[in-house]
Amino acid sequence: MEYDNRYEGFTITIINDISFLKLLDHPNVVKIIDAVIGKNVVYMVLPLAQTDLSKHRYKPDDIPLVTYPLVQAMGYYFNKKILHLDIKPANILYFEKENQLKFIDFGISR
């Protein structure tokens, strides 16, 4: 993620994204491995996902099976008083090895 250095520091979206991903510990929320700060850029080291939900296709019969864990994850971070605010297919990663969907991008979360 690139950031604008005019404000002498990180934007709130970068701080939110890193801090919420470090705070949350749920099987359906991506766990951040590390964050590396460069010149006007922050690299977030994350597990490798094969695709996201916008590109991965499920059969209609599979939809309840993948929806339930995502709703559980939403309940988990709602209980921690975190609102994602940017839930969309591109922010839900698909991990083929685990056959699992995980939330990402908590940058504009509150």
pLDDT (tens digit per residue) in 80-97 = 999 999 999 999 999 989
Report yes or no on 47 lying in a domain: yes
List the catalytic residues.
86
Number of domains in the chain: 1
Domain that holds residue 83: 5-103
Give the DSSP per-residue string, 27-89. TTBPPP-EEEEETTEEEEE-PPPSEETTT----GGGHHHHHHHHHHHHHHHHHTT-------G
Asked if 85 and 57 touch (Cβ cutoff 8 Å), the reply is no
pLDDT (tens digit per residue) in 22-77 = 999 999 999 999 999 887 788 999 999 999 998 988 888 888 888 999 999 999 99
Q: Residue 65 belongs to a domain with what CATH number?
A: 1.10.510.10
pLDDT at 26: 97
Whole-model pTM: value is: 0.85
